[in-house]
Amino acid sequence: MLATKFRDDPREVLVMETLPLPRRPVVQLSLDALTASELDSLWGAVVILVQPRFTSIMDDPALPRLLDQFQELLRVQRAERQQIRAEVAS
């Protein structure tokens, strides 16, 4: 954010239009496309975010509900993968 401010200062002085903020490209993948380690990392992050110490300070009132729904999707995906591993092992 500080670097962005320094980038915009000369543009403001010269009365030029400010540049749009840089954004990461959005890549949407299905949960099936995630590797086991990616799925585990995502699961850990969501488990932390749904804790009351974080949900109580979220600005968006819909975010905790959406995180709960996403956690359920992750739970289903993990259960399916565990079932597949068990079938392959037997």
Q: What confidence tens digit (pLDDT) does each residue in 34-78 have?
A: 999 999 999 999 999 999 999 999 989 999 999 999 999 999 999
Residue 28 tokens, joined: 């949407």
Kindly state whether residue 41 falls inside one of the protein's structural domains: yes
Of residues 24, 23, 78, 84, the one with CA closest to residue 46: 78
Q: Which domain range does residue 35 map to? A: 30-90
Would residue 48 count as lying in a domain? yes
pLDDT of 28 strictly over 60: yes
User: Distance between CA atoms of 89 and 19, rounded to whole angstroms?
Assistant: 55
Task: Look at residue 24 and tell me whether its pLDDT is greater than 90.
Answer: no
Is there a domain that residue 65 lies in?
Answer: yes
Task: Give me the number of domains the chain comprises.
Answer: 1
Q: Does the pLDDT value for residue 32 go beyond 80?
A: yes
Distance CA 31, CA 41 (A): 12
